[in-house]
Structure 1
Amino acid sequence: MRKVLLVLLILLIGGVIAADRIGVRVAQDEIGKQVAAQYNLQQRPEVTIHGFPFLTQAIGGEYDQIDVKLGQWTERGVTVGDVTIEMRGVNAPLADVTSGNANSVTAEEATASAVIPYAVIKARAPKEVKNIAAKGDNLQVDLNGTIAGFPLSGSAVVSVKPSAKGIVITPISGGLAGLPQLPAVGQLVSWTVPVANLPVGSRISKIEPTPDGLRVSATANNVRLNDLPNA
């Protein structure tokens, strides 16, 4: 009798787990559909609902964390990639999720991150900038050309900082190598990439150089799914 009960218990647990995993997939697909429809995305974003069991979260309408991968996103003519939004403390009533209503889906905190490829940064740079690469917390730019009649060939270490106008790139003191020490050179290796916000309605606050580009992130509090800027 004990063996029978044990088998039934195992089957019951297995059935609950299977139902839980099926439920989370259905919910992820539905949220992906809502986000794609809300912002006219060509591809449905990838949605991941964290936490176990899912069904307990779904019934209560409260989720530990939901991640949404948008892929590409454009602001002021600049397209960035690998855009991911991590939402924590999500409130999403089950009836609203299943009916396709995103009006009441909120998150206590949402962090968006993206990668700005160096090709995109170079496209906004002066034509004398020939190459850009990560150098610790900064960037190294290689330059070649002519300025004020002086041949321009060398490299400069530049800093990257967020501002209201976008990502500001400026030379670091003593960071010019093999370049004429002219004020015009410093101006030449200074420019702004006009990406100031990410799709949580918040200004970029963190920038990290990587081999593929600048990884930027922004965090906002008390965010509604409907408030995310049009992607």
Structure 2
Amino acid sequence: MRALRIFLIVAVILGGLFVIADRVAVGFAEDEAADRIRTSEGLSSTPDVSIEGFPFLTQALSGELDDVRIGIKDYEASTSGNDTTTAIRIEDLDAQMHGVVFSGSYSSATADSATGTASISYAELLKAAKSETTDVTAGVTAQVVGLSDGGNGKIKVTVEATVLGTKLPQPISVLSSVSVAGDTVKVHADTLPNLGVDLAEDAVRSVTDFEQKIDQLPGGIQLDKVEAAPNGVDISVKGSDIRLVG
């Protein structure tokens, strides 16, 4: 019995030491990976990297990690839309990487697949709209002055207009649908605003409808789905063969 107790005590101590060593190793690996990703993606701040699964050391020895979560705040993505190229700030980009194969020095890392979420504020998305005064037709100008949550997955697009030199007393709002086509977020008015004069539909839509192309997301992940939310649009992203480093 005494020998059994000694064996159990030794096993508990060794197990505890292994857990400590494992957690120290994973912490070092997370910090190293975060620095490599920051440099590779040209980020202004170090991302949050979390290597999931236990134990880490056995995964590290195999050269493949089951799951790695990467969180990036205020990511500046290159964009294009409405004949302009700008940058748009993506808030809280959170990606879950699956099947991450890496080199021993962490100089290269590739994920078999990835899923994640991100958000873009309405203020940022407004940059893609016709936020400057636009000639709709002779004597009629309009501009988008605000985007907000319209409820039920819709975006409320608010437009100010001037007709024959007279500014309409109140801005006009329409509900719009938001969708993703490839790497582009599209906003399409469900109905057209009534500006008090007969106008061709395509003329009005030149103001109310707009799209925003979002390029060069980290590692080559792609837009998947988008929906309106209280503070902006929530985006789902996905990808395969994602190159994280190298």
Q: CA deviation at 1:195?
A: 1.9
Name the aligned partner's letter for residue 111 of structure 1.
Answer: T
Name the aligned partner's letter for residue 100 of structure 2.
Answer: V
Instruction: Determine if contact 1:73/1:83 at 8 Å carries over to the other structure.
Output: no
1:40 to 1:9, Cα distance in 2 relative to 1, 3 A: same
1:82 equivalent to 2:84? Answer no
1:9 to 1:164, Cα distance in 2 relative to 1, 3 A: closer
Instruction: Determine if contact 2:52/2:66 at 8 Å carries over to the other structure.
Output: yes
The 10-residue stretch of structure 1 (31-40 or 142-151) with the greater mean CA deviation from structure 2: 142-151
Q: CA deviation at 1:164?
A: 5.0
Alignment partner, residue 205 of structure 1: 224
CA distance in 2, matches of 1:187, 1:78: 21
Q: 1:109 aligns with which of 110, 113, 118?
A: 113
Alignment partner, residue 134 of structure 2: none
1:148 to 1:112, Cα distance in 2 relative to 1, 3 A: farther
Q: Deviations over 1:61-90 (max 9, x none)?
A: 111111122222221322222122321011
TM-score normalised by L of structure 1: 0.82
Q: 2:105 aligns with which of 96, 107, 126?
A: 96
SS of aligned partner of 1:41: coil
Q: CA deviation at 1:29?
A: 0.6
1:124 equivalent to 2:128? Answer yes
CA distance in 1, matches of 2:121, 2:9: 55
Structure exhibiting the larger radius of gyration computed from Cα positions: 2
1:67 to 1:147, Cα distance in 2 relative to 1, 3 A: farther
Provide the aligned C-alpha RMSD in A: 2.5
Q: CA deviation at 1:43?
A: 1.8
Q: CA deviation at 1:178?
A: 6.2
Runs of 4+ in 1 over 4 A off after TM superposition: 147-150, 176-181
Q: Deviations over 1:67-121 (max 9, x none)?
A: 122222221322222122321011124x232xxx22xx21110235321110011
Q: CA deviation at 1:124?
A: 2.6
SS of aligned partner of 2:125: helix
CA distance in 1, matches of 2:221, 2:232: 21
Instruction: Determine if contact 1:113/1:198 at 8 Å carries over to the other structure.
Output: no
Q: Which runs of 5+ in 2 are unaligned?
A: 80-86, 132-142
Q: Which runs of 5+ in 1 are unaligned?
A: none
Alignment partner, residue 185 of structure 1: 204
1:161 equivalent to 2:179? Answer yes
Name the aligned partner's letter for residue 237 of structure 2.
Answer: A
Instruction: Determine if contact 2:153/2:229 at 8 Å carries over to the other structure.
Output: no
The 10-residue stretch of structure 1 (75-84 or 24-33) with the greater mean CA deviation from structure 2: 75-84
CA distance in 1, matches of 2:195, 2:17: 70
Alignment partner, residue 23 of structure 1: 25
Name the aligned partner's letter for residue 101 of structure 2.
Answer: N
CA distance in 1, matches of 2:72, 2:46: 8
1:197 to 1:147, Cα distance in 2 relative to 1, 3 A: farther
Q: Provide the identity percentage.
A: 27
Q: Deviations over 1:27-65 (max 9, x none)?
A: 101111111222332322110111111111111111111
SS of aligned partner of 1:107: strand
Q: Deviations over 1:157-200 (max 9, x none)?
A: 1111223572221111xx35665474243332111223255323
CA distance in 2, matches of 1:185, 1:148: 16
TM-score normalised by L of structure 2: 0.78
SS of aligned partner of 1:141: strand
Alignment partner, residue 136 of structure 2: none
Alignment partner, residue 7 of structure 2: 5
1:137 to 1:197, Cα distance in 2 relative to 1, 3 A: farther
Alignment partner, residue 46 of structure 2: 44
